[in-house]
A and B are shown apart, each in its own frame.
Chain A
Amino acid sequence: MYRSHVLVCGGTGCTSSHSPEIIEALNAQLKEKGLESEVQVVRTGCFGLCSLGPIMIVYPEGCFYSQVKVDDVPEIVEEHLLKGRIVRRLLYSETAQAEEIKPLNETNFYKKQHRVALRNCGVIDPENIDEYIGADGYQALAKCLTELTPEEVVKIVSDSGLRGRGGGGFPTGRKWSFTAANKADQKYVVCNADEGDPGAFMDRSVLEGDPHCIVEAMAICGYATGATEGYVYVRAEYPIAVERLQKAIKDARAYGLLGKNIFNSGFDFDLHVRLGAGAFVCGEETALMTSIEGNRGEPRPRPPYPAVKGLFGKPTTENNVETFANIPQIILNGPAFFNTIGTETSKGTKVFALGGKITNTGLVEIPMGTTLREIVEDIGGGIPNGKKFKAAQTGGPSGGCIPAEYLDTPMDYDSLLKIGAMVGSGGLIIMDETSCMVDIAKFFLKFTVDESCGKCTPCRVGTRRLLELLEKITDGNGTMEDLDTMEALCYYIKDNSLCGLGQTAPNPVLSSYRHFKDEYIAHVKDKKCPAGACKNLTQIVIDAEKCKGCTACERKCPVGAISGTVRNPHVIDQSKCIKCGACIETCRFGAISRK
Chain B
Amino acid sequence: MLRRFFAVRQRTEEMLMQKKISKIPFKGTPEQEARLKAVIAECQGDQSRLMHVMQQAQGIYGYLPYEVQVMIAEGMGVPLEKVYGVATFYAQFALSPKGKYNVSVCLGTACYVKGSQDVLDKICAGLGVEAGECSADGNFSVEECRCIGACGLAPVFTINGEVYGKVTADDVPGILAKYQNA
Contacts and interface: CB of A to CB of B under 8 A. Distances in A.
A355 B152 contact: yes
B51 A274 contact: yes
Nearest to B43: A294
Interface string B34-60: 000000000000011111101100000
A198 B111 CA distance: 9
B109 A275 contact: no
B91 A17 contact: no
B153 A236 contact: no
Contacts of B51: 274-275, 277, 291, 294
B148 interface: yes
A393 interface: yes
Interface string A336-370: 00000000000000000101110001100000000
A204 B151 CA distance: 12
A357 B90 CA distance: 31
B168 to A, nearest CB: 12
B109 A355 contact: yes
Given A278-B91, A296-B89, A356-B109, A16 B153 contact: yes
Contacts of A197: 109, 147
Contacts of A201: 147, 149-151
B97 interface: no
A198 B48 contact: no
B109 A277 contact: no
B146 interface: yes
Interface residues of A, number: 51
B49 A294 contact: yes
Of the candidates B91, B111, B151, the one having the most CB atoms from chain A within 10 angstroms of its own CB is B151
A12 interface: yes
B109 A50 contact: no
B151 A353 contact: yes
A29 interface: no
A237 B149 contact: yes
A50 B151 contact: yes
Interface string A294-307: 11110000000000
A129 interface: no
A279 B90 contact: yes
Interface in A312-334: 312
A297 B149 CA distance: 22
Contacts of A151: none
Contacts of A12: 148-150
Contact of A17 (B49, B90, B111, B153): B153
A196 B145 CA distance: 12
A440 B165 CA distance: 22
Nearest to A241: B149
Contacts of A447: 146
B90 A429 contact: no
A109 interface: no
Given A274-B51, A356-B110, A440-B113, A16 B150 contact: yes
B109 A396 contact: yes
Interface in B58-94: 82, 85-86, 89-93
B119 interface: no
A195 B146 CA distance: 11
Interface string A4-39: 000000001100110000000000000000000000
- Which 10 residue pairs are nearest across A and B when measured between Cβ atoms? A50-B152, A198-B108, A355-B110, A278-B91, A277-B90, A199-B109, A16-B163, A277-B92, A198-B147, A294-B50
Interface of B: 47-52, 54-55, 82, 85-86, 89-93, 106-114, 145-154, 156, 163, 165
17 contacts: A16-B153, A50-B153, A51-B152, A200-B151, A201-B150, A277-B54, A278-B92, A280-B146, A294-B51, A356-B114, A356-B154, A361-B154, A429-B109, A429-B113, A435-B113, A444-B109, A453-B89
